[in-house]
Amino acid sequence: MKKGVAFFLWSLLASVLLVGCGTTSTSEENSESGKAAGDFKLKKDVEFICPFSAGGGSDLYARMAADIIQKNGWCDQPIMVVNKTGGGGSVGDTYTFSKKGSSETITTYVSAQITSAMLNKTEVTYKDLTPICNLAMDEYLIGVNADSPYQTAEDLMKASKENPGSITVGGSGKGTEDELVTGMMNKYGDAQFEYVSYNSSSEVMSAMLGGHITAGIYNPNECLSQAEAGQVSLLAAFGPERVSILPEISTFTELGYPDIVFQQFRGIFGAPEMSEEAVTYWADVFKKVTEDNEWKEKYLDSNGLTSKYIAGEDFETFLGGEAEKYETIFKATGALE
């Protein structure tokens, strides 16, 4: 009888010990898994590189995003926006490339950084950095001086065909989106515009208002005040839909040019060989930014951008498709061999 009781008690104790050991092991595994998935920590101050000048489109979204992130406590380290300008974005991209493996170096990345590298054959391309996510799509418009004889897009297109090379379109830089959309009008609209490169959109505007060029390519925030003042006539938008803050401006698609469609992507990249944990961390942080009301009202709505968050493999696929589209246009226009 005593032996039976003793055996029962020993068996019960052994079961408790085994269960305890199993629970401890499972707990440790769950802890390690949670650490890998959600406990990623940055180790030092964040350098948020903007490869373009202060006050420009890339600088604007970098500083607004950084401010929103820090006000909401979504990043455990200070974020410093650093402008490293020159070479159509190549100076900033080269700097980001030099920070191989860093979790604390991120950069704004837009369509022009792909096109500029493509045309200027720079060493660092989008494939050499780490894609994190896309935040929004920026719109493009073509405008003329309010005193121009060409007050419709069709008038302008017709004039370029009748006077090949004499109708000039200004844009901010060689190999930028401005040159790309001019090439699209030439290729898909049978137009013959001459593209003229300037250093900034403000220079383009000054040249157009001064009568030195016929037309200019602009983001909405670069021409809205002049349009409202009656200095500029906006003729058409390049996006698939009308610009939210300029609903009266028709798209090229609506005007009978379904292949003249373009939006500039505005995304975030990281240094080469950034860890998967860091990529996930930043993608999550910037997803919160795109859902923030201040971002929607003060950045997207105020400047006429369209929200479009893309991350992971979808973002990589998107980038490949954009690069292929740009290459097709530049080869067709002779800008790229």
pLDDT tens digit sequence for 115-142? 999 988 999 999 999 999 999 999 999 9
pLDDT of 56 reads: 84
Residues 106 and 146 in one domain: no
**For 168-196, b where at least 16 C-beta lie within 10 A, e where not — what string?**
bbbbbbbbbbbbbbbbbbbbbbebbbbbb
Extract the tokens encoding 279: 């990529």
Tally of helices (H runs) and strands (E runs) in the chain: 12, 11
Residue 52 carries which side chain, given as an amino acid letter? F
The pLDDT value recorded for residue 28 is 39
Task: With a cut of 80, say whether residue 10 has pLDDT above it.
Answer: no
The residue that leads in pLDDT, 247 or 174, is: 247
Give the integer Cα–Cα distance in Å for 114 and 100: 20
Q: What is the phi/psi pair of residue 281, to 5°? A: -60, -50
For residue 88, the domain's CATH number is 3.40.190.150
Instruction: Note whether residue 24 is domain-resident.
Output: no
Let me know whether 91 and 230 are in one domain: no
d(CA 113, CA 43): 28
The pTM assigned to this predicted structure is 0.83
Residue 34 lies in a domain: no
Would you say residue 292 lies in a domain? yes
**Looking at the structure, do residues 149 and 123 belong to the same domain, yes or no?**
no
- 68/201 same-domain check: no
* CATH number for the domain that contains residue 165: 3.40.190.10
For helices 111-120 and 90-97, the axis angle rounded to 10 degrees is: 100
Half-sphere exposure of 173 (CA within 13 A, CB side): 22
Q: Is residue 199 part of a domain?
A: yes
Residue 75 lies in a domain: yes
Q: Are residues 75 and 219 in the same domain?
A: no
Number of structural domains, the chain?
2
Q: Is the pLDDT of residue 15 over 90?
A: no
Here the tokens at position 126 are 């989008």
pLDDT for 74: 97
Cβ neighbours of residue 151 closer than 8 Å, sequence gap 6 or more: 144, 233, 235
The per-residue pLDDT for range 276-330, each reduced to its tens digit, is 999 999 999 999 999 999 999 999 999 999 999 999 999 999 999 999 999 999 9
Question: Of 222, 289, 336, whose CA–CA distance to 65 is shortest?
Answer: 289
**148 and 232: one domain?**
yes
Tokens of 227: 């349009």
Tell me how far CA of residue 6 lies from CA of 3, 16, 19, 207, in angstroms: 5, 16, 20, 99
Q: Residue 105: give the domain boundaries.
A: 46-138+263-333
What are all long-range contacts of 90-93, with beta carbons under 8 Å and residues at least 24 apart? 90/51, 90/116, 90/117, 90/120, 90/122, 90/124, 91/51, 92/49, 92/50, 92/51, 92/52, 93/51, 93/117, 93/122, 93/124, 93/128, 93/129
Q: Is residue 267 part of a domain?
A: yes
